[in-house]
Amino acid sequence: MVINVKQVVQVRLLPTPEQASALGDTLRVCNTAASWLSARMHTDQVFRKFDVHKRFYAELRERFGLAAQPAIRVIGKTVDAYTTLRANLRAGNYGPPGSDRRRKAEDTPIRFRPLAGQPFDARCLSWQLGDAGRDGTVSIWTVAGRLRTVRIVANPRHLALLRSRSAIGETDLLHRDGVWLLHAVVDSPEAARREPANGFLGVDLGIVNIATTSDGDRFCGSRLNRYRKRQLRLRKRLQAKKTSSARRLLKKRRRKEARFAADVNHRISKNIVAEAERTGRGIAVEELTGIRARVRLRKPQRATLHSWAFAQLGQFLTYKAQQAGVVVVQVDPAYTSQTCHACGYVDKRNRRSQAVFHCGRCDFVGHADHNAALNIAACGVVCWGEVMRPDAAPILAAS
């Protein structure tokens, strides 16, 4: 069985002013249609794609002048938005039942921004990539007719990936900060998963040290934290001015911090996966699902915790490991920072400070994050054994 890894390739469009106007009109019409459809779905409480298509497809096309396939994509986008909303409600992300925030989410139909992204498929958008070394063009449907020669530029590696695929999946058209972009989804075959013959590389995640491996490598978070504090000071200063120029500058800088953090996470995950691949090991990482809901911090620390992209680093590690054929397991992080990896003694007082671990039984002294990473690596071996030999997994007694 061949398992494919989905990758998103970003391509920049270079439209002429006339083409840019047509693309802008297309986004506005599609998102106006999606908002109208969302209101009808919410009023009639119809959310299944088949039922929505059967009831509203003809009226949607007639009212907004959409072609057949773009109308289907508008329906799909709106249905997917409600699917995501219901999943968030079930997960409690909008608060408990009866809360004001949850009630507002349930009672208000979803609305789409005028220039929100619009998905296209192979019937609405085709690629002409040409030979290597040439950027190529795309042909895309718009409300003003089909645009057949819209120039594109991208990273040469990304263009080579697009050229090597016979079929390119769904592609989203975006207008961000005055730039037109295409986000194309391509399927890449996952590398054959190699058995972790030499054990696991444990990874302890944190804020002071973003990641610490069981080999003792620490990826310090001080630079990222200083950058975030500086961005926070600049935002406060600009928000206090309340001038038009300050608002323009805030709008221009709004994604700067997210891009910086994503770059840091990319580099960290790339180094960890490369080390695991080189040494023939798997990667064991602590499972941090729900950390924001269960951790209680003082107010000055909340911004630091909530701005750190826990899930993003885990996603980067997972897909890069899949491409390299490296095994990734998630382990329960409970007590990994309080347990001595040398003798197994568990005590809250073992961790004397953020950085110092001193075992009260065997007098082992070391860096606290490195000790936790060693414990995570050992837990990874146990978890992998349970995955490969379910019959050997411990059976929990009924309580």
Give this prediction's pTM. Answer: 0.77
Confidence of residue 2 (pLDDT cuts 50, 70, 90): very low
DSSP state for residue 339 in the 8-state scheme: B
Mean of pLDDT values over 265-284? 93
Average pLDDT score over residue span 279-286: 92
Structure tokens at 300: 């000055």
Take residue 98 and report the two structure tokens written for it. Answer: 């009866």
Q: Which residue, among 333, 344, 374, has the nearest Cα to 214 in the 3D structure?
A: 374
CB-side exposure of 348: number of CA atoms within 13 Å? 0
pLDDT digits (tens, 9 = 90+) for 9-68: 899 999 999 999 999 999 999 999 999 999 999 999 999 999 999 999 999 999 999 999
Q: What is the pLDDT of residues 300-329, one digit of tens each?
A: 666 666 666 777 888 899 889 988 889 999
Architecture of 200-392 per CATH? 2-Layer Sandwich (3.30)
Question: What pLDDT digit, counting tens, does each position of 60-115 carry?
Answer: 999 999 999 999 999 999 999 999 999 999 988 898 888 999 999 999 999 999 99
By three-state DSSP, how is residue 12 classified? strand
Question: Where are the domains positioned within the chain?
Answer: 4-15+121-189, 20-118, 200-392
174-188, 195-209, 285-299, range with the lowest pLDDT? 285-299
* Contacts for 249 with CB less than 8 Å, ≥ 6 apart: 238
Name the nearest CA neighbour of 121 among 164, 163, 71: 71
* pLDDT tens, position by position, 338-385: 999 999 999 988 988 888 999 998 989 999 999 999 999 999 988 887
> Which of 151-165, 272-286, 383-397 shows the highest mean pLDDT?
272-286
pLDDT at 52: 96
| DSSP, res 124 | T
Say what the pLDDT of residue 108 is: 95
Residues 269-291, mean pLDDT to the nearest whole number: 87
68-90 and 49-64 are packed helices; what angle lies between their axes, rounded to 10 degrees?
Answer: 130
- The string of pLDDT tens digits covering residues 200-233 is 999 998 878 888 999 999 888 788 878 888 888 8
- What pLDDT score was predicted for residue 391? 46
What was the pLDDT predicted at 386?
A: 64
Q: What is the DSSP string of 143-156?
A: TT--EEEEEEE--H
Position 261 pLDDT exceeds 50: yes
Quote the pLDDT of residue 143.
Answer: 94
Give me the pLDDT at residue 398, please.
41
397 has pLDDT over 70: no
Dihedral of CA 87/90/92/97: which sign?
positive
Give the pLDDT band of residue 399 (cuts 50, 70, 90): very low
Give tens-digit pLDDT for 34-50.
Answer: 999 999 999 999 999 99
Tens digits of residue pLDDT in 124-181 = 999 988 776 567 899 999 999 999 989 999 888 888 888 887 778 889 999 988 899 9
What is the amino acid identity at position 281?
R
Residue 332 has phi, psi (to 5 degrees) of: -70, 120
Q: Judging by DSSP bridges, how do beta strands 282-286 and 200-205 pair with one another?
A: parallel
DSSP-based three-state secondary structure for 203? strand
pLDDT at site 395: 45
